[in-house]
Amino acid sequence: MEAQSSSTLLLSRKRRRDGSNGEAEEGERFGKIPRCTVGLRHPVPFADELEPADSKAYKRVSMEEAKRGTPPERPVRVYADGIFDLFHSGHARALMQAKCLFPNTHLIVGVCSDDLTHKYKGFTVMNEDERYDAIRHCRYVDEVVRNAPWTLTPEFLAKHRIDFVAHDDIPYSSAGSDDVYKHIKEAGMFAPTQRTEGISTSDIITRIVRDYDVYVRRNLQRGYTAKELNVSFINEKKYHLQERVDKVKKKVRDVEEKSKEFVQKVEEKSIDLIQKWEEKSREFIGNFLQMFGPEGALKHMLKEGRGRMLQAISPRQSPSSSPTREERSPSPTFRLPFFSKTSPPPSPPHHSGAPLYCIRSGSPRHGFDTKFGVGKVSRGITKTLLGISGCRLSEQVN
């Protein structure tokens, strides 16, 4: 009853055939269920270990009565059989569907023996005891029948008081019959379930066979010997060599990935540096043109400095309205005090000696200007005095 009540909270779900990877279809998700402990503490009992049923006559339950619900003391007994080799989620889902067919269900699962399975279907990976034990630990199962028959007989159905048989609706041809469940369907005892696409025992074996070398190398790594794996000495050495080669390839891939990450980081940093360099270069070029360009600050500074230099070294020019030399009044002549006013004029130029130099204020004739310092003026006066003294002495001698 606990399994039934918890299963009513689950939504139906099918797995897609291709590319599902266990993902549910859109809108087909498990519903939220309250936190509770619904697991069982003990494995499912075998049918031959249970007490015999009551002495009442066996009377089947109809489909309508089963769907309406039966009393707790009379659950609907549903039977599901199979090989259940390499028990997987597809098996568990089929048993879950069988358990949830009716509100009150007692699920009986029959597992065929090795002899019967090898005769009609083929060799199994797990032996019968392993397959029995796998079914005993499925939460949806209430009872396990060992050595189940390949074809269900009326005696078997009556012995286990079976009301309905659950299986997928695809015809199961075996043992010289097109469908071993044909008589069950005709009797109205068949309850169809849905297969879980993408998972089966044959699919799992196909994966192992397809990747045989991978799984052999896997088990060799885990300590299995070549004899246990039925591998020859040469193949064992080949697998060990392949393992070493794969390790080297893995290291190379790791180095390539790290180098790619390093190159990517370098590219990102280089892009940042280039962008910063472009920004700085634009700023530098702008500042350079502003300083040294055709109309830059340096050109204006040079022009201004050249103008100041020319102004400093060039003499002052007289204004255009000033009188000419003939019109100017004669400048006063400065003479030394020890010479008399009636002294004769200086000797003619043929006499030896320096000529008489007169200092006239404001006269630019001899290059004197107020811009010259006092030292230059004093030296000029000294030279003039020497020249005048020489002229006077020569006149006296003559």
Q: Mean pLDDT lowest for which of 15-24, 68-77, 106-115, 219-228? A: 15-24
pLDDT of residue 317: 62
From CA 64, how far away is CA 69, in angstroms rounded? 9
Could you give phi then psi for residue 79, rounded to 5 degrees? -115, 135
* pTM (predicted TM-score): 0.57
Q: Which residue has the tokens 């028959």?
A: 149
Residue 23 DSSP one-character state:
P
Q: Mean pLDDT lowest for which of 177-191, 247-261, 300-314? A: 300-314
CA 235 vs CA 3, 208, 230, 247, 324: distances in Å? 50, 18, 10, 18, 128
pLDDT of residue 23: 44
pLDDT of residue 143: 94
Could you give phi then psi for residue 294, rounded to 5 degrees? -55, -35
Q: Mean pLDDT lowest for which of 169-173, 225-229, 356-360? A: 356-360
- Residue pLDDT, tens place only, 161-180: 999 999 999 988 886 788 89
From CA 300, how far away is CA 287, in angstroms rounded? 16
- Residue pLDDT, tens place only, 290-316: 777 777 777 778 778 877 888 888 766
Residue 256 DSSP one-character state:
H
What is the rounded (10 degree) CA torsion for 316, 320, 325, 331?
-60
pLDDT of residue 115: 95
> Alpha carbon 181 to chain centroid distance?
55
User: 3 near 38, Cβ under 8 Å?
Assistant: yes
As a whole number, mean pLDDT of residues 275-299 equals: 79
From CA 53, how far away is CA 387, in angstroms rounded? 167
From CA 112, how far away is CA 115, in angstroms rounded? 8
From CA 388, how far away is CA 370, in angstroms rounded? 24
- Residue pLDDT, tens place only, 128-161: 999 999 999 999 999 999 999 999 999 999 999 9
For the chain, where are the E strands, in sequence order? 76-82, 105-111, 143-146, 164-168, 190-193
Pick the more confident residue, 6 or 288: 288
- Residue pLDDT, tens place only, 24-64: 444 445 567 676 665 678 888 998 888 876 667 778 999 99
From CA 167, how far away is CA 156, in angstroms rounded? 17
User: 176 near 143, Cβ under 8 Å?
Assistant: no
Q: How many CB atoms lie under 10 A from the CB of residue 91?
A: 23
Would you tell me the crossing angle of helices 201-210 and 212-221 to the nearest 10 degrees? 80
From CA 99, how far away is CA 8, in angstroms rounded? 11
> Alpha carbon 189 to chain centroid distance?
58
- H helices of 40-113, in order, are 63-68, 89-99
Residue 277, token pair as written in the block: 């360099």
Q: How many CB atoms lie under 10 A from the CB of residue 223?
A: 7
Could you give phi then psi for residue 207, rounded to 5 degrees? -60, -40
